[in-house]
Amino acid sequence: MFCFQCEQTAGGKACTMAGVCGKSALVANKQDALTGALVGLARAASGKKPSRRAVELMIDGLFATITNVNFDPERIDDLKRQIEEEKDKLGGAENFSETALWEGDPDIVSLRSTLLLGIRGMAAYAHHAYVLGKQDQEVNEWFFKGMRAIGEEHTVEEWLDLLMEFGHVNLKCMALLDEANTSAYGHPVPTKVSTIIEKGPFIVISGHDLHDLKMLLEQTNGKGINIYTHGEMLPAHGYPELKKYPHLKGNFGTAWQNQQKEFMDIPAPVLFTTNCLMPPKPNYSDRIFTTAVVGYPGLVHIPADEKGYKDFTPVIEKALELGGYPEDHVMAGINGGTELITGFARNTVLGVADKVIEAVKTGAIRHFFLVGGCDGAKTGRNYYTDFVKQTPADTVILTLACGKFRFNDLQLGEIGGLPRIMDMGQCNDAYSAIQVALALSKAFNCDVNELPLTLVLSWYEQKAVCILLTLLALGIRNIYIGPSVPAFFSSNVLSVLVEKFGIKPISTPEQDLKAILG
């Protein structure tokens, strides 16, 4: 096996024996073969309009290879078999050799990998939009174009152009998902979220898929079962059409890498709608359920029927059987806080744009930081907690994705009635952050890079890659990135990124804050 797609890759280089994430060599090799087959599918679809099924298989095949999504060799085989069938219907084509994915000139491998990993990330967003009935032709077509490109030879310049083109397409895909989520569930509003788990039966729902949450809320309505979000599902509390359910009670636990500790002997089932699933420990594995592209051998999987409906009865029965905690159970955040706030997506922030602009003009707000991205298990991520704690009182922290669990329970006070930490949502809600930045640059009549705004990103898996490429394609410079530089950036590629985009690997909070605030 060879895999270097995530931040916890072995030795900071590559997993070659088994994945640090728990992925076996068998599954890694099957995922590579699956990827080769997707290139074959894209080749077969060249010059044709891919069928609905081909698009679905392209998106789900890519999504299934994202870190912490699918560990089940049979499911990967089954996906590949369906892809081959669909490819034959399109007239057939040769698959890309799976070893060619990761072999050759280090700079070309680096550029090809960066594009492939970005495309994998975008597939997750396209999937969530798709289940809500939203598609974009340009995005769909680009999956095929991009995968064909993966199977071709290109010069360094051509790869860089492809990466920038991809970044713009991913912006469209994030916009599509924003439209899908907000048209289905309304625009998020600021919402306080409790971390106290009330006594009685409950279900924890993890991952990013709001459509799954909505179905689960409907099926548990009036059944005496409470629903708690976990990880990236936290921002769901801000959506009017989801928060109206009184049994959507609060949030359970922190970011994904703490699940093996937090789910220990949990008296409730947990439903994983997307990443990040870790190999479950025996003392709770009977409580973990998967759905959509998520899979793990031996876990109960909830499939969708032809219309997309999912019957969550096995999860509901498990919740009733386990019965929940006998008394209310407090699950404090990393810093001991028991109340979180979410719902500061673009509509809310732009709704108070006048206030924000005024605060910047009067000097009440000196600087904005977007401290966002993934959390992870490796050391060095305390940087983000320390960074936020050390930001001066006249600065505002926008945040998104699961990295926020490092500091979202801190009480950092307010500026002009706005909290100093504003949670904009999931990783895909980077779209909201981009919209706010563009609106501010318009209001101040300046370039985005001239705004008093600095992006301090933490990365773990491939969705962070697609977002980074979008930010670079938009011309956003001087982004701080950590906790480490991706293993798939060769030293030459990293030099290009530093030179062209001013990308900065994080150092220490003290040093970086000094450099930013001057």
* Amino acid (one-letter) located at 395: T
Which tokens hold the place of 49? 């309009």
Match 């699950």 to its residue by tokens: 331
114 binds ligand FSO (CB under 6 A): no
Q: Which residues pair with 373 in a beta bridge?
A: 458
Match 């599902």 to its residue by tokens: 233
Residue 365 or 471 having the CB closest to ligand FSO:
471
- What, of ligand SF4, ligand FSO, none, does residue 401 touch, CB below 5 to 8 Å by kind? ligand FSO
Site string for ligand FSO, 405-444 (x = CB under 6 A): ---------------------xx-----------------
Beta-strand relationship, 300-302 and 288-291: parallel
Residue 19 or 40 having the CB closest to ligand SF4:
19
CB of 111 to ligand SF4, least distance (A): 18
CB of 273 to ligand FSO, least distance (A): 11
State which of positions 445-474 bind ligand FSO (CB under 6 A). 460-461, 463-464
Residue 293 or 374 having the CB closest to ligand FSO:
374
Beta strands (DSSP E) in 195-328 are 196-197, 202-206, 226-230, 248-251, 270-272, 288-291, 300-302
- What, of ligand SF4, ligand FSO, none, does residue 9 touch, CB below 5 to 8 Å by kind? ligand SF4
Question: Of 276, 315, 360, 455, which lies in the binding site for ligand FSO, with binding defined by CB under 6 A?
Answer: 276
Residues sharing a CB contact under 8 Å with residue 170, sequence separation 6 or more, in sequence order = 118, 121, 122, 125, 466, 467, 469, 470
| Residue 368: φ, ψ to 5° | -110, 140
- What, of ligand FSO, ligand SF4, none, does residue 4 touch, CB below 5 to 8 Å by kind? ligand SF4
Residue 79 or 319 having the CB closest to ligand SF4:
79
Residue 30 or 463 having the CB closest to ligand FSO:
463
State which of positions 339-378 bind ligand FSO (CB under 6 A). 374
Residues sharing a CB contact under 8 Å with residue 362, sequence separation 6 or more, in sequence order = none
Nearest to 56 by CA among 131, 4, 117, 156: 131
Which tokens hold the place of 435? 């919209």
Point out which residues bind ligand SF4 (CB under 6 A). Answer: 3-6, 8-9, 15, 19-21, 23, 28, 67
- What, of ligand SF4, ligand FSO, none, does residue 20 touch, CB below 5 to 8 Å by kind? ligand SF4
401 binds ligand FSO (CB under 6 A): yes
402 binds ligand FSO (CB under 6 A): yes
Residue 6 or 370 having the CB closest to ligand SF4:
6
CA distance 453 to 455: 7
CB of 90 to ligand SF4, least distance (A): 30
Nearest to 252 by CA among 344, 345, 328, 343: 328
Residues sharing a CB contact under 8 Å with residue 515, sequence separation 6 or more, in sequence order = none
CA distance 335 to 189: 25
**How much of the chain is helix, strand and coil, in % rounded to 5?**
50, 15, 35
- What, of ligand FSO, ligand SF4, none, does residue 340 touch, CB below 5 to 8 Å by kind? none
CB of 379 to ligand SF4, least distance (A): 16
State which of positions 157-176 bind ligand FSO (CB under 6 A). none
Binding residues for ligand FSO, rule: CB under 6 A, are 231-232, 256, 275-276, 374, 401-402, 426-427, 460-461, 463-464
